[in-house]
Amino acid sequence: MGAKLVWCMKALHARGLITGSGGNASVRLGGGDEILITPSGVYKAELEESDLVRMGLDGKVLDGRWKPSSEWRMHTEIYRKRGDVNAVIHVHSPYTTGLTIAGRNIGPITPEVALILPEIEVLEYVCPGTEDLGRLVGSRIAGKRALILQNHGVVSAGRDLLEAMTAIEVLEEGAITTFVASLMGGAKVIPKEEVELIKRVYKR
Ligand SMILES: [Zn+2]
């Protein structure tokens, strides 16, 4: 579990979705009330399994030599509200965040975006690392695979790390595609009836 979390952070860093100091991720342990979360203040590309912090959903640190990520409240709130979620990833993906700062939405621009992220909600700006941000994310995560945080980044939730990672990747790809199309004259989305067809064809 820890090895996969470390791999995830290195992959996100290599792809430019986080900086060495930004972003965090966690996994739920054994489907229960404990999580393994990335630490605060450790360069993400250099992360090792022994750097990870084990903590309870009540905020109590159980094991680890570092402090948990400053965004631990966002993670614990999601796990508390969503019993189906076993992995949470938070990144500062530049295209997704940038488009949102400019007031641009990311619509169903490709079949993948239409299927994986049918509704993309942008939450109002709240100071990172606060209880208020944790509460806000927890109150809006129902039924969502990802939320965009205004002027900040993205948080995704999945049944496992790969599902959470996929949501981050698809959203960023959708943002880049939207950006490119906008530069070339306009980002036209897939018509509503075609979106419905995609959902039927790829029904899970
Ligand atoms: Zn952040």
Per-residue pLDDT of the chain (204 residues; tens, 9 = 90+): 899 999 999 999 999 999 999 999 999 999 899 999 999 999 999 999 999 999 999 999 999 999 999 999 999 999 999 999 999 999 999 999 999 999 998 999 999 999 888 888 999 999 999 999 999 999 999 999 999 999 999 999 999 999 999 999 999 999 999 999 999 998 899 999 999 999 899 875
3-state SS class at 198: helix
CA 47–ligand 1 middle distance (angstroms):
17
Residue type, 155: V
Domains present along the chain, CATH in parentheses: 2-201 (3.40.225.10)
Annotated active-site positions, please?
Answer: 71
Q: What's the predicted TM-score (pTM) here?
A: 0.95
Strands 121-123 and 146-149: what pairing?
parallel
CA of 65 to the centre of ligand 1 (A): 22
Please name the helix (run of DSSP H) or strand (run of DSSP E) that holds residue 163, with its range, or none.
Answer: helix 161-183
Instruction: Please tell me the distance between residue 153's alpha carbon and the centre of ligand 1 in angstroms.
Output: 6
